[in-house]
């Protein structure tokens, strides 16, 4: 009876996925998981038990999707069969869907590894069900204040989740004082990674900090330097808490022709990374695979062939204009995008889309923690705000004396700026606008390639 219920759960979930796709009402990546759990509540634990080798979970505020994709790419490059929730469906139903939809016709998984991105709050429920071999914590920043609250709440969520799977190796960014504070609070074996070389510019570092106080004695930390946010080299004169020498690091980091190269694990990597924070994502993936003795023999080629875009940093050509799309969903992430824009010395146009759906978080007060004044140095010719909170974004920019206007239609704005603008357009969106804007840009680009524009 148990096996019959499992097969029924899988069959019904797959049928729902096919039905949704035929109706073109979405990508069918969460509802199938919901249906499967209704029929067999233990379906995730059952399917996780079919993974032949290891399960790796990545959580944290920024970098989850990219880190998870790097893991998957590196393992596949080594000939492994990998299951991944690659679209960022990182809540319980989305993860269940990923497992269910990966099964074969007889309801079994044929995979060596599962690489799973987990929402910070959902990780409390997900980790005990998956019982992973390894958990990567990328960083901890404020994000969706109405869901997570302040960073203390996020720390507590992750501590509870990781402590529920004490055998899992915990891969921590030790440059992040908030993440590294969990090393002594969780029973798990801990592996650290970090960057000792100062590589981030002033626009990246800004003055946005989540915590500069010791998590143990409360005294103000002393920093040798900041990378960005609260990430940096720190120590506390009160109790001695300090950033350790990381187990894994990236060294000899150089930036040439818009790309980053770095020395990691015995090899010099010429990456496709346009942004410095992707070195952290790469480093965390390497640290996790090394800790599991799963790093491939040709990992250098695997990293160098990885595309860091992942639909969150894409470039399109429309009307002979370069159009870059970037996701920014919290102050620290937005600051990195501003740095990218400032470091492009050419004149440019900029569209900022801000929504306040449930996916984004209703509280957008975090916009006031972004140092937008750096945009005054960015050679921006036209700046438009779009989205349900476009007027809030416009007001925020006007407080910095940054000229801007609001618009209501993304398509017409893109068409106008790619035809009569600088031919160098940046678009920054928060989460709910990401996939819709991606689809629009792909459509406009394909139309041009097909000779329809």
| Model confidence at 168: pLDDT above 90 | yes
Average pLDDT over residues 231-259: 92
Q: Which of 37-46, 84-93, 192-201 has the lowest mean pLDDT?
A: 84-93
Say if domain 313-449 classifies as CATH 3.40.190.10. no
Of 58, 80, 53, residue with least CA distance to 69: 58
Q: Which two tokens stand for residue 10?
A: 């899988």
| Model confidence at 144: pLDDT above 60 | no
Cα distances (angstroms) measured from residue 196 to each of 171, 200, 256, 258: 17, 11, 20, 21
CATH number of 2-304: 3.40.1190.10
Show Cβ contacts of residue 48 under 8 Å, excluding neighbours closer than 6 positions: 55, 99, 114, 129, 130, 131
Burial class (CB within 10 angstroms; exposed 0-12, middle 13-18, buried 19+) of 312:
buried
**pLDDT band at residue 292 using 50, 70 and 90 as cut-offs:** very high
pLDDT value at position 203?
A: 62
* Residues forming beta bridges with residue 156, ordered by sequence position: none
Average pLDDT over residues 48-73: 95
C-alpha 41: how far from its chain's center?
29
What is the C-alpha separation between 224 and 232, in angstroms, rounded? 7
**pLDDT band at residue 256 using 50, 70 and 90 as cut-offs:** confident
What is the C-alpha separation between 258 and 428, in angstroms, rounded? 19
pLDDT value at position 153?
A: 85
- Residue/partner pairs of 234-241 with CB below 8 Å, 24 or more apart: 234/177, 238/214, 239/214, 241/181, 241/214, 241/215, 241/216, 241/217
Q: Do 360 and 329 form a contact (C-beta atoms < 8 A)? A: yes
Portions of the chain given CATH number 3.90.190.20: 313-449
Portions of the chain given CATH number 3.40.1190.10: 2-304
What is the C-alpha separation between 213 and 173, in angstroms, rounded? 17
Residues comprising the chain, all counted: 453
pLDDT value at position 148?
A: 46
pLDDT value at position 191?
A: 98
| Model confidence at 146: pLDDT above 50 | no
Q: Count other Cβ atoms within 10 Å, centred on residue 420.
A: 12
What percent of the chain has a predicted confidence (pLDDT) above 70? 92
| Model confidence at 254: pLDDT above 90 | yes
Q: Count other Cβ atoms within 10 Å, centred on residue 395.
A: 15
pLDDT digits 0-9 by tens, 305-335: 998 866 567 889 999 999 999 998 888 889 8
What is the C-alpha separation between 242 and 232, in angstroms, rounded? 11
**pLDDT band at residue 449 using 50, 70 and 90 as cut-offs:** low
For 349, phi then psi, to 5°, come to -110, 155
Q: Do 168 and 134 form a contact (C-beta atoms < 8 A)? A: yes
Average pLDDT over residues 231-250: 94
Q: Which of 37-46, 207-216, 236-245, 345-354 has the lowest mean pLDDT?
A: 207-216
């Amino acid at each position: 009876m148990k096996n019959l219920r499992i097969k029924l759960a899988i069959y019904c979930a797959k049928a729902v996925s096919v039905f949704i796709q035929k109706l073109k009402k979405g990508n069918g990546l969460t509802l199938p998981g919901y249906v499967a759990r209704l029929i067999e509540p233990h379906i995730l634990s059952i399917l996780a038990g079919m993974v032949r080798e290891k399960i790796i979970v990545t959580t944290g505020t920024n970098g989850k999707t990219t880190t998870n994709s790097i893991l998957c790419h590196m393992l596949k490059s080594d000939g492994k069969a990998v299951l991944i929730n690659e679209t960022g469906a990182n809540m319980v139903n989305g993860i269940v869907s990923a497992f269910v939809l990966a099964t074969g016709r007889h309801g079994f998984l044929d995979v060596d590894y599962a690489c799973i991105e987990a929402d910070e709050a959902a990780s409390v429920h997900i980790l005990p069900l998956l019982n992973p071999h390894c958990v990567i914590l990328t960083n901890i920043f404020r994000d969706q204040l109405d869901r997570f609250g302040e960073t203390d709440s996020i720390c507590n969520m992750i501590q509870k989740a990781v402590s529920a799977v004490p055998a899992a190796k915990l891969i921590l960014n030790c440059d992040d004082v908030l993440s590294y504070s969990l090393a002594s609070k969780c029973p798990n074996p801990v592996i650290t990674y970090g960057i000792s070389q100062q590589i981030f510019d002033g626009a990246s570092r800004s003055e946005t900090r989540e915590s500069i106080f010791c998590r143990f004695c409360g005294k103000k930390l002393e920093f040798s330097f900041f990378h960005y946010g609260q990430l940096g080299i720190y120590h506390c004169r009160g109790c001695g808490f300090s950033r350790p020498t990381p187990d894994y690091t990236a060294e000899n980091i150089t930036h040439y022709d818009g790309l980053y190269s770095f020395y990691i694990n015995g090899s010099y990597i010429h990456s496709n990374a346009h942004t410095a924070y992707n070195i952290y994502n790469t480093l965390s993936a390497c640290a996790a695979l090394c800790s599991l003795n799963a790093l491939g023999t040709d990992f250098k080629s695997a990293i160098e062939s990885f595309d860091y875009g992942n639909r969150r940093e894409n470039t399109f050509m429309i009307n002979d204009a370069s159009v870059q799309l970037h996701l920014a969903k919290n102050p620290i992430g937005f600051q990195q995008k501003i740095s990218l824009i400032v470091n492009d010395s050419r004149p440019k146009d900029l569209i900022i889309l801000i929504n306040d759906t449930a996916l984004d978080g209703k509280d957008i007060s975090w916009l006031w923690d972004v140092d937008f004044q750096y945009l005054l140095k960015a050679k921006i010719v036209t700046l438009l705000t779009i989205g349900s909170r476009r007027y809030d974004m416009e007001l925020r920019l006007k407080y910095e004396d940054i000229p801007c206007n609001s618009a209501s239609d993304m398509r017409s704005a893109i068409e106008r700026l790619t035809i009569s603008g600088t031919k160098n357009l940046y678009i920054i969106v928060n989460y709910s606008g990401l996939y819709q804007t991606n689809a629009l840009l792909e459509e406009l680009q394909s139309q041009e390639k097909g000779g329809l524009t």
